[in-house]
Structure 1
Protein backbone atom coordinates (compact mmCIF):
# COMPACT_ATOMS: atom_id res chain seq x y z
CA UNK A 1 0.00 0.00 0.00
CA UNK A 2 2.20 2.79 -1.32
CA UNK A 3 1.83 6.56 -0.98
CA UNK A 4 2.65 8.73 -4.00
CA UNK A 5 2.66 12.48 -4.64
CA UNK A 6 2.49 14.86 -7.59
CA UNK A 7 1.31 18.45 -8.17
CA UNK A 8 0.35 20.82 -10.96
CA UNK A 9 -1.42 18.41 -13.32
CA UNK A 10 -2.84 21.45 -15.16
CA UNK A 11 -5.45 19.35 -16.95
CA UNK A 12 -7.58 20.93 -19.68
CA UNK A 13 -10.00 18.30 -20.95
CA UNK A 14 -12.78 20.89 -21.22
CA UNK A 15 -10.69 23.98 -22.02
CA UNK A 16 -8.20 24.98 -24.70
CA UNK A 17 -5.08 25.40 -22.59
CA UNK A 18 -2.13 23.52 -24.15
CA UNK A 19 0.79 23.43 -21.74
CA UNK A 20 3.46 22.97 -24.41
CA UNK A 21 3.53 26.76 -24.83
CA UNK A 22 5.72 26.55 -21.70
CA UNK A 23 8.16 24.17 -23.39
CA UNK A 24 8.18 21.08 -25.58
CA UNK A 25 8.57 18.84 -22.53
CA UNK A 26 4.95 19.70 -21.68
CA UNK A 27 3.66 18.22 -24.96
CA UNK A 28 0.91 15.70 -24.08
CA UNK A 29 2.11 15.86 -20.49
CA UNK A 30 -1.13 14.35 -19.21
CA UNK A 31 -0.43 11.19 -21.19
CA UNK A 32 3.03 10.94 -19.62
CA UNK A 33 1.47 11.27 -16.16
CA UNK A 34 -1.21 8.70 -16.95
CA UNK A 35 1.30 6.17 -18.28
CA UNK A 36 3.55 6.44 -15.22
CA UNK A 37 0.55 6.40 -12.88
CA UNK A 38 -0.99 3.28 -14.42
CA UNK A 39 2.37 1.48 -14.50
CA UNK A 40 3.05 2.07 -10.81
CA UNK A 41 -0.06 2.79 -8.76
CA UNK A 42 -2.22 -0.10 -7.54
CA UNK A 43 -5.86 0.15 -6.55
CA UNK A 44 -4.96 -0.05 -2.85
CA UNK A 45 -2.41 2.81 -3.08
CA UNK A 46 -2.96 6.51 -2.32
CA UNK A 47 -1.89 9.51 -4.43
CA UNK A 48 -1.58 13.05 -3.05
CA UNK A 49 -2.24 15.79 -5.63
CA UNK A 50 -0.99 19.14 -4.37
CA UNK A 51 -3.01 21.69 -6.31
CA UNK A 52 -3.32 23.30 -9.76
CA UNK A 53 -5.36 20.35 -10.90
CA UNK A 54 -7.57 21.80 -13.65
CA UNK A 55 -7.68 24.95 -15.78
CA UNK A 56 -11.50 24.87 -15.65
CA UNK A 57 -13.27 27.95 -14.30
CA UNK A 58 -16.26 26.17 -12.72
CA UNK A 59 -17.04 22.77 -11.26
CA UNK A 60 -19.10 21.59 -14.23
CA UNK A 61 -16.19 22.16 -16.57
CA UNK A 62 -13.74 20.69 -14.05
CA UNK A 63 -15.63 17.39 -13.93
CA UNK A 64 -14.00 16.33 -17.20
CA UNK A 65 -10.60 16.56 -15.49
CA UNK A 66 -11.79 15.11 -12.19
CA UNK A 67 -13.36 12.19 -14.05
CA UNK A 68 -10.00 11.65 -15.78
CA UNK A 69 -8.31 11.46 -12.37
CA UNK A 70 -11.08 9.27 -10.97
CA UNK A 71 -10.47 6.64 -13.65
CA UNK A 72 -6.84 6.24 -12.57
CA UNK A 73 -6.04 3.58 -9.93
CA UNK A 74 -5.80 4.32 -6.23
CA UNK A 75 -7.35 6.68 -3.70
CA UNK A 76 -6.63 10.36 -4.35
CA UNK A 77 -6.37 13.24 -1.89
CA UNK A 78 -6.46 16.74 -3.43
CA UNK A 79 -5.79 20.28 -2.21
CA UNK A 80 -6.53 23.54 -3.97
CA UNK A 81 -3.94 25.39 -6.04
CA UNK A 82 -3.89 29.04 -7.06
CA UNK A 83 -5.36 28.19 -10.50
CA UNK A 84 -8.17 25.95 -9.22
CA UNK A 85 -10.94 28.52 -9.64
CA UNK A 86 -13.48 25.71 -10.02
CA UNK A 87 -12.99 24.62 -6.38
CA UNK A 88 -16.42 24.96 -4.74
CA UNK A 89 -17.72 24.11 -1.26
CA UNK A 90 -15.83 21.28 0.36
CA UNK A 91 -19.05 19.44 1.20
CA UNK A 92 -20.25 19.42 -2.38
CA UNK A 93 -16.83 18.41 -3.70
CA UNK A 94 -16.56 15.50 -1.30
CA UNK A 95 -19.95 14.19 -2.45
CA UNK A 96 -18.77 13.71 -6.04
CA UNK A 97 -16.49 10.66 -5.96
CA UNK A 98 -15.82 7.62 -3.83
CA UNK A 99 -12.05 7.59 -4.37
CA UNK A 100 -11.29 11.33 -4.60
CA UNK A 101 -11.10 13.28 -1.34
CA UNK A 102 -10.80 17.07 -1.18
CA UNK A 103 -8.81 18.47 1.73
CA UNK A 104 -9.70 21.82 3.35
CA UNK A 105 -9.65 22.48 7.11
CA UNK A 106 -9.82 18.70 7.64
CA UNK A 107 -7.55 15.67 7.28
CA UNK A 108 -7.52 12.19 5.78
CA UNK A 109 -5.54 9.11 6.62
CA UNK A 110 -3.02 6.81 5.02
CA UNK A 111 -2.35 3.82 7.24
CA UNK A 112 -1.27 5.37 10.59
CA UNK A 113 -0.48 8.77 9.04
CA UNK A 114 -2.71 11.83 9.03
CA UNK A 115 -2.67 13.71 5.72
CA UNK A 116 -3.17 17.41 6.49
CA UNK A 117 -2.74 20.60 4.52
CA UNK A 118 -3.92 23.77 2.84
CA UNK A 119 -3.18 25.73 -0.33
CA UNK A 120 -0.62 28.02 1.29
CA UNK A 121 0.50 31.38 -0.09
CA UNK A 122 3.53 33.54 -0.70
CA UNK A 123 5.77 33.86 2.32
CA UNK A 124 7.14 37.30 3.26
CA UNK A 125 9.95 38.21 0.87
CA UNK A 126 12.06 41.10 -0.42
CA UNK A 127 10.45 41.21 -3.88
CA UNK A 128 6.71 41.64 -3.41
CA UNK A 129 4.53 41.10 -0.37
CA UNK A 130 1.52 43.37 -0.06
CA UNK A 131 -1.00 43.89 2.73
CA UNK A 132 -3.36 41.64 0.78
CA UNK A 133 -0.66 38.97 0.64
CA UNK A 134 -0.25 39.27 4.41
CA UNK A 135 -3.99 38.76 4.89
CA UNK A 136 -4.09 35.62 2.73
CA UNK A 137 -0.83 34.33 4.27
CA UNK A 138 -2.29 34.57 7.78
CA UNK A 139 -5.54 32.92 6.65
CA UNK A 140 -3.71 29.99 5.06
CA UNK A 141 -1.57 29.45 8.16
CA UNK A 142 -4.80 29.35 10.17
CA UNK A 143 -6.28 26.78 7.80
CA UNK A 144 -3.16 24.65 8.15
CA UNK A 145 -3.50 24.80 11.94
CA UNK A 146 -7.18 23.78 11.71
CA UNK A 147 -6.17 20.73 9.68
CA UNK A 148 -3.34 19.80 12.05
CA UNK A 149 -5.51 20.31 15.12
CA UNK A 150 -8.20 18.03 13.65
CA UNK A 151 -5.61 15.26 13.25
CA UNK A 152 -4.13 15.90 16.70
CA UNK A 153 -7.59 15.71 18.28
CA UNK A 154 -8.02 12.23 16.80
CA UNK A 155 -4.71 11.10 18.25
CA UNK A 156 -2.51 11.12 15.14
CA UNK A 157 1.17 11.82 15.78
CA UNK A 158 2.58 10.85 12.35
CA UNK A 159 1.69 13.64 9.94
CA UNK A 160 2.29 14.41 6.28
CA UNK A 161 1.33 17.88 5.04
CA UNK A 162 0.26 18.91 1.54
CA UNK A 163 0.75 22.51 0.42
CA UNK A 164 0.50 24.01 -3.04
CA UNK A 165 2.85 26.92 -2.47
CA UNK A 166 6.38 26.37 -1.17
CA UNK A 167 6.57 26.91 2.61
CA UNK A 168 9.34 29.55 2.46
CA UNK A 169 10.52 32.40 0.27
CA UNK A 170 13.32 31.93 -2.25
CA UNK A 171 15.91 32.66 0.45
CA UNK A 172 14.56 29.76 2.52
CA UNK A 173 13.86 32.01 5.49
CA UNK A 174 11.67 30.69 8.28
CA UNK A 175 7.97 31.45 7.85
CA UNK A 176 4.78 30.90 9.83
CA UNK A 177 4.33 27.80 7.69
CA UNK A 178 7.68 26.27 8.64
CA UNK A 179 7.25 27.26 12.28
CA UNK A 180 3.82 25.60 12.38
CA UNK A 181 5.12 22.46 10.69
CA UNK A 182 7.90 22.20 13.27
CA UNK A 183 5.57 22.93 16.18
CA UNK A 184 3.30 20.03 15.18
CA UNK A 185 6.24 17.68 14.52
CA UNK A 186 5.23 17.13 10.90
CA UNK A 187 7.26 14.35 9.32
CA UNK A 188 7.06 15.27 5.64
CA UNK A 189 5.79 18.11 3.45
CA UNK A 190 4.99 18.02 -0.25
CA UNK A 191 4.33 21.09 -2.38
CA UNK A 192 4.27 22.24 -6.00
CA UNK A 193 3.70 25.58 -7.76
CA UNK A 194 7.29 26.04 -8.95
CA UNK A 195 7.99 25.50 -12.67
CA UNK A 196 11.21 25.72 -14.65
CA UNK A 197 14.82 25.11 -13.70
CA UNK A 198 15.36 28.57 -12.21
CA UNK A 199 12.19 28.35 -10.10
CA UNK A 200 13.03 24.85 -8.86
CA UNK A 201 16.07 26.35 -7.10
CA UNK A 202 13.67 28.39 -4.93
CA UNK A 203 12.09 25.27 -3.44
CA UNK A 204 13.10 24.02 0.01
CA UNK A 205 14.20 20.38 -0.25
CA UNK A 206 15.49 17.73 2.10
CA UNK A 207 15.42 17.69 5.90
CA UNK A 208 15.31 21.06 7.66
CA UNK A 209 14.82 21.36 11.41
CA UNK A 210 13.43 17.82 11.54
CA UNK A 211 10.94 18.17 8.65
CA UNK A 212 11.51 16.55 5.24
CA UNK A 213 10.44 18.68 2.25
CA UNK A 214 9.65 17.48 -1.28
CA UNK A 215 8.97 19.56 -4.39
CA UNK A 216 6.52 17.54 -6.50
CA UNK A 217 5.60 19.82 -9.42
CA UNK A 218 4.97 17.40 -12.27
CA UNK A 219 7.59 18.97 -14.56
CA UNK A 220 10.17 18.80 -11.75
CA UNK A 221 9.39 15.08 -11.46
CA UNK A 222 9.56 14.64 -15.26
CA UNK A 223 5.82 13.87 -15.13
CA UNK A 224 6.34 10.86 -12.88
CA UNK A 225 4.81 10.32 -9.44
CA UNK A 226 7.10 10.44 -6.42
CA UNK A 227 6.81 7.43 -4.13
CA UNK A 228 6.88 8.69 -0.55
CA UNK A 229 6.19 5.49 1.36
CA UNK A 230 5.89 1.82 0.46
CA UNK A 231 4.45 -0.61 3.00
Structure 2
Protein backbone atom coordinates (compact mmCIF):
# COMPACT_ATOMS: atom_id res chain seq x y z
CA UNK A 1 0.00 0.00 0.00
CA UNK A 2 1.37 3.41 -1.02
CA UNK A 3 0.73 6.08 1.58
CA UNK A 4 0.59 9.68 0.37
CA UNK A 5 1.93 12.11 2.96
CA UNK A 6 0.28 15.53 3.20
CA UNK A 7 0.89 18.42 5.58
CA UNK A 8 -1.00 21.42 6.90
CA UNK A 9 -0.34 23.52 10.01
CA UNK A 10 -2.09 26.31 11.90
CA UNK A 11 -5.66 25.13 11.52
CA UNK A 12 -6.51 27.47 14.43
CA UNK A 13 -9.86 25.83 15.20
CA UNK A 14 -11.80 27.87 17.74
CA UNK A 15 -11.81 25.44 20.68
CA UNK A 16 -15.01 26.96 21.96
CA UNK A 17 -13.23 30.29 22.36
CA UNK A 18 -15.36 32.10 19.76
CA UNK A 19 -12.20 33.37 18.09
CA UNK A 20 -13.02 33.99 14.42
CA UNK A 21 -9.78 34.11 12.45
CA UNK A 22 -11.16 36.53 9.87
CA UNK A 23 -10.31 39.40 12.24
CA UNK A 24 -6.77 38.91 10.89
CA UNK A 25 -7.70 38.70 7.21
CA UNK A 26 -10.70 37.95 4.99
CA UNK A 27 -8.81 34.91 3.71
CA UNK A 28 -9.78 33.23 6.99
CA UNK A 29 -13.53 33.57 6.38
CA UNK A 30 -15.15 30.13 6.88
CA UNK A 31 -11.68 28.61 7.07
CA UNK A 32 -12.84 25.50 8.94
CA UNK A 33 -15.36 24.70 6.20
CA UNK A 34 -12.71 25.33 3.55
CA UNK A 35 -10.24 23.02 5.28
CA UNK A 36 -12.87 20.28 5.48
CA UNK A 37 -13.90 20.59 1.82
CA UNK A 38 -10.37 20.80 0.42
CA UNK A 39 -9.15 17.98 2.67
CA UNK A 40 -11.96 15.64 1.59
CA UNK A 41 -11.29 16.47 -2.06
CA UNK A 42 -7.77 15.05 -2.01
CA UNK A 43 -7.00 12.96 1.11
CA UNK A 44 -8.07 9.31 1.33
CA UNK A 45 -8.23 6.99 4.32
CA UNK A 46 -4.96 5.39 3.19
CA UNK A 47 -3.06 8.69 3.39
CA UNK A 48 -1.32 10.51 6.23
CA UNK A 49 -1.61 14.18 7.17
CA UNK A 50 1.03 15.91 9.32
CA UNK A 51 -0.33 18.83 11.36
CA UNK A 52 2.54 20.90 12.74
CA UNK A 53 0.97 22.87 15.54
CA UNK A 54 -1.51 25.62 16.39
CA UNK A 55 -4.37 23.18 16.02
CA UNK A 56 -6.89 24.78 18.40
CA UNK A 57 -7.37 27.94 20.46
CA UNK A 58 -8.67 25.80 23.35
CA UNK A 59 -7.03 26.39 26.71
CA UNK A 60 -7.75 22.95 28.19
CA UNK A 61 -7.65 19.46 26.72
CA UNK A 62 -11.37 18.89 27.29
CA UNK A 63 -12.13 22.10 25.41
CA UNK A 64 -10.01 20.97 22.46
CA UNK A 65 -11.87 17.67 22.17
CA UNK A 66 -14.47 18.89 19.67
CA UNK A 67 -11.73 20.27 17.41
CA UNK A 68 -9.79 17.02 17.67
CA UNK A 69 -12.95 15.04 16.89
CA UNK A 70 -13.45 17.24 13.83
CA UNK A 71 -9.97 16.32 12.59
CA UNK A 72 -10.46 12.69 13.62
CA UNK A 73 -13.45 12.26 11.30
CA UNK A 74 -11.60 13.61 8.27
CA UNK A 75 -10.04 11.06 5.88
CA UNK A 76 -6.56 9.69 6.59
CA UNK A 77 -4.32 9.09 9.55
CA UNK A 78 -3.03 12.18 11.32
CA UNK A 79 0.10 13.00 13.29
CA UNK A 80 -0.16 16.16 15.36
CA UNK A 81 2.64 18.14 16.99
CA UNK A 82 2.42 21.16 19.28
CA UNK A 83 2.39 24.84 18.37
CA UNK A 84 2.89 27.90 20.53
CA UNK A 85 -0.88 28.46 20.84
CA UNK A 86 -1.75 24.87 21.75
CA UNK A 87 -2.26 25.58 25.44
CA UNK A 88 -4.58 22.56 25.62
CA UNK A 89 -1.64 20.21 24.96
CA UNK A 90 -1.26 17.69 27.78
CA UNK A 91 0.68 14.53 28.59
CA UNK A 92 0.84 11.84 25.92
CA UNK A 93 -1.11 9.52 28.21
CA UNK A 94 -3.99 11.96 28.64
CA UNK A 95 -4.13 12.65 24.92
CA UNK A 96 -3.99 8.96 24.04
CA UNK A 97 -6.78 8.33 26.55
CA UNK A 98 -9.08 10.39 24.33
CA UNK A 99 -9.19 7.26 22.15
CA UNK A 100 -9.20 9.15 18.89
CA UNK A 101 -9.21 6.69 16.01
CA UNK A 102 -7.01 8.42 13.45
CA UNK A 103 -4.82 10.80 15.48
CA UNK A 104 -1.38 10.25 16.98
CA UNK A 105 0.51 12.86 18.99
CA UNK A 106 4.19 13.64 18.46
CA UNK A 107 6.21 14.51 21.57
CA UNK A 108 9.71 13.12 22.17
CA UNK A 109 8.72 10.14 20.00
CA UNK A 110 8.52 9.20 16.33
CA UNK A 111 6.33 7.30 13.87
CA UNK A 112 6.98 5.12 10.83
CA UNK A 113 4.96 6.06 7.75
CA UNK A 114 5.68 4.16 4.57
CA UNK A 115 9.38 4.58 3.82
CA UNK A 116 9.77 7.52 6.22
CA UNK A 117 10.29 8.22 9.91
CA UNK A 118 8.25 11.14 11.24
CA UNK A 119 9.92 13.17 14.02
CA UNK A 120 9.65 16.68 15.39
CA UNK A 121 9.13 19.23 18.13
CA UNK A 122 7.57 22.68 18.55
CA UNK A 123 10.86 24.64 18.45
CA UNK A 124 10.79 28.30 19.53
CA UNK A 125 11.26 31.79 18.20
CA UNK A 126 14.75 32.78 17.11
CA UNK A 127 16.84 35.26 19.11
CA UNK A 128 16.47 37.74 16.25
CA UNK A 129 12.67 37.75 16.52
CA UNK A 130 10.65 40.52 18.14
CA UNK A 131 8.91 37.73 20.05
CA UNK A 132 12.15 36.75 21.83
CA UNK A 133 12.18 37.58 25.54
CA UNK A 134 14.54 37.17 28.45
CA UNK A 135 14.53 33.54 29.49
CA UNK A 136 13.69 32.20 26.03
CA UNK A 137 17.24 30.86 25.66
CA UNK A 138 16.28 28.13 28.14
CA UNK A 139 13.25 27.18 26.03
CA UNK A 140 15.38 27.05 22.88
CA UNK A 141 17.86 24.71 24.57
CA UNK A 142 15.01 22.50 25.77
CA UNK A 143 13.51 22.34 22.28
CA UNK A 144 16.88 21.31 20.84
CA UNK A 145 16.89 18.42 23.33
CA UNK A 146 13.32 17.44 22.47
CA UNK A 147 14.01 17.52 18.75
CA UNK A 148 17.09 15.35 19.18
CA UNK A 149 15.17 12.93 21.42
CA UNK A 150 12.53 12.53 18.73
CA UNK A 151 15.11 11.99 16.00
CA UNK A 152 17.03 9.45 18.08
CA UNK A 153 13.84 7.49 18.74
CA UNK A 154 13.33 6.91 15.00
CA UNK A 155 14.32 3.73 13.22
CA UNK A 156 17.83 3.92 11.81
CA UNK A 157 18.82 4.18 8.16
CA UNK A 158 15.45 5.47 6.96
CA UNK A 159 14.72 8.92 5.51
CA UNK A 160 13.32 11.37 8.05
CA UNK A 161 10.54 13.95 7.83
CA UNK A 162 10.62 16.50 10.65
CA UNK A 163 7.46 18.38 11.54
CA UNK A 164 8.09 21.54 13.55
CA UNK A 165 6.00 24.61 14.28
CA UNK A 166 8.48 27.48 14.28
CA UNK A 167 10.63 27.94 11.18
CA UNK A 168 14.24 26.78 11.75
CA UNK A 169 15.47 30.19 10.57
CA UNK A 170 16.17 33.59 12.06
CA UNK A 171 14.21 36.75 11.34
CA UNK A 172 16.20 37.24 8.13
CA UNK A 173 15.45 33.70 6.87
CA UNK A 174 18.98 32.55 7.73
CA UNK A 175 19.27 28.97 9.11
CA UNK A 176 19.58 28.84 12.89
CA UNK A 177 20.48 26.26 15.55
CA UNK A 178 17.38 24.17 14.83
CA UNK A 179 18.34 23.86 11.18
CA UNK A 180 21.79 22.76 12.30
CA UNK A 181 20.22 19.92 14.32
CA UNK A 182 18.19 18.81 11.29
CA UNK A 183 21.28 19.01 9.07
CA UNK A 184 23.51 17.15 11.53
CA UNK A 185 21.00 14.30 11.74
CA UNK A 186 20.56 14.07 7.95
CA UNK A 187 16.86 14.96 8.02
CA UNK A 188 15.48 14.75 4.49
CA UNK A 189 12.38 16.94 4.74
CA UNK A 190 11.14 19.55 7.21
CA UNK A 191 7.65 21.01 7.31
CA UNK A 192 6.90 24.04 9.46
CA UNK A 193 4.16 26.63 10.08
CA UNK A 194 3.69 29.70 12.29
CA UNK A 195 4.12 32.28 9.53
CA UNK A 196 1.04 34.24 8.49
CA UNK A 197 0.14 37.25 6.34
CA UNK A 198 3.28 39.37 5.80
CA UNK A 199 5.26 36.57 7.46
CA UNK A 200 4.78 34.54 4.28
CA UNK A 201 7.43 36.75 2.71
CA UNK A 202 9.96 35.11 5.03
CA UNK A 203 9.09 31.61 3.85
CA UNK A 204 12.07 29.41 3.09
CA UNK A 205 11.27 26.50 0.80
CA UNK A 206 13.31 24.04 -1.19
CA UNK A 207 16.73 22.59 -0.39
CA UNK A 208 18.94 24.16 2.28
CA UNK A 209 22.07 22.16 3.11
CA UNK A 210 20.33 19.01 1.93
CA UNK A 211 17.12 19.57 3.95
CA UNK A 212 13.96 20.09 1.88
CA UNK A 213 11.75 22.75 3.50
CA UNK A 214 8.00 23.35 3.15
CA UNK A 215 5.97 26.12 4.77
CA UNK A 216 2.59 24.57 5.55
CA UNK A 217 0.63 27.28 7.38
CA UNK A 218 -3.02 26.78 6.43
CA UNK A 219 -3.47 30.28 5.00
CA UNK A 220 -0.26 29.93 2.97
CA UNK A 221 -1.68 26.72 1.43
CA UNK A 222 -5.11 28.24 0.81
CA UNK A 223 -6.41 25.80 3.45
CA UNK A 224 -5.53 22.76 1.38
CA UNK A 225 -3.21 20.00 2.67
CA UNK A 226 0.02 19.96 0.66
CA UNK A 227 1.32 16.73 -0.83
CA UNK A 228 4.81 16.21 0.60
CA UNK A 229 5.66 12.71 -0.56
CA UNK A 230 4.00 9.89 -2.45
- TM-score above 0.5: yes
Shift of 1:91: 1.7
**Which range is displaced more, 92-101 or 31-40?**
92-101
Mapped to 2, the partners of 1:49 and 1:81 lie a distance apart of: 10
Mapped to 2, the partners of 1:82 and 1:128 lie a distance apart of: 12
Give the TM-score taking structure 1 as reference length. Answer: 0.94
Count of aligned positions = 227
Equivalent in 68, 71, 88 of residue 70 of structure 2:
68
Q: Is the contact made by 1:13 and 1:65 (CA closer than 8 Å) also made in structure 2?
A: yes
1:162 and 2:163 correspond: yes
Q: Please name the residue that 2:193 is paired with.
A: 192
Per-residue Cα deviation, 1:90-140 (whole angstroms, up to 9, x for no partner): 122123213100000000111121000000101221756434111111111
Q: Please name the residue that 2:119 is paired with.
A: 116
Q: Unaligned regions of 5+ residues in structure 1, if any?
A: none
Q: Please name the residue that 2:215 is paired with.
A: 215
Give the TM-score taking structure 2 as reference length. Answer: 0.95
Q: Please name the residue that 2:89 is paired with.
A: 87
Equivalent in 120, 126, 139 of residue 136 of structure 1:
139
Mapped to 1, the partners of 2:129 and 2:23 lie a distance apart of: 30
Q: Please name the residue that 2:172 is paired with.
A: 171
Mapped to 1, the partners of 2:47 and 2:8 lie a distance apart of: 14
Q: Which runs of 4+ in 1 moved over 6 A?
A: none
**Which range is displaced more, 170-179 or 68-77?**
170-179
1:229 and 2:229 correspond: yes
Mapped to 2, the partners of 1:130 and 1:85 lie a distance apart of: 19
Task: State the secondary structure of the residue aligned to 1:201.
Answer: helix
Per-residue Cα deviation, 1:38-69 (whole angstroms, up to 9, x for no partner): 11110010000010000111011100100000
Q: Is the contact made by 2:120 and 2:162 (CA closer than 8 Å) also made in structure 1?
A: yes
Mapped to 2, the partners of 1:25 and 1:143 lie a distance apart of: 34
1:103 and 2:106 correspond: yes
Mapped to 2, the partners of 1:218 and 1:89 lie a distance apart of: 26
Mapped to 2, the partners of 1:157 and 1:131 lie a distance apart of: 38
